[in-house]
Amino acid sequence: MMWYGGWGGGGWFLMTVIMVVFLLLLIVGVIALTHYITNTRRGHQPGPPSGETAWGSRRAEDLLAERFARGEIDEDEYKRRLTLLREQR
């Protein structure tokens, strides 16, 4: 049967485009949800990855220097801890 007054001959093309866009959005949504759930379970914290030793050691040295500047630790302890941090790189 043929219905008159519908979308015409190009209706199938529009329906195909809408279906493809819908499926792409659905797939992207599932992937984003999966990524969010797996990162939440691992206790993921925003910021640099934990494997980056250069960032972590630089920040540790900065914190150590700040503690020394505030007088929380003396010079001997500062040098000892700084040496220990640099050996662990």
Mean pLDDT across the chain, nearest whole number? 80
Average pLDDT over every residue of 32-45: 77
Q: What is the pLDDT of residues 40-68, one digit of tens each?
A: 766 555 555 554 445 556 788 899 999 99
**Cα 40 to Cα 28, 37, 52, distances in angstroms:** 18, 5, 20
Say if CB 61 and CB 83 are below 8 A apart: no
DSSP letter at 58 equals: H
- Token pair 């934990």 is at which residue? 50
Among 1-15, 37-51, 72-86, which is the least confidently predicted range? 37-51
Report the alpha-carbon distance of residue 78 to residue 15 in Å, rounded: 70
Task: Supply the pLDDT for residue 51.
Answer: 47
Query: Which amino acid does the sequence have at 86?
Result: R
**pLDDT at residue 85, as a whole number:** 86
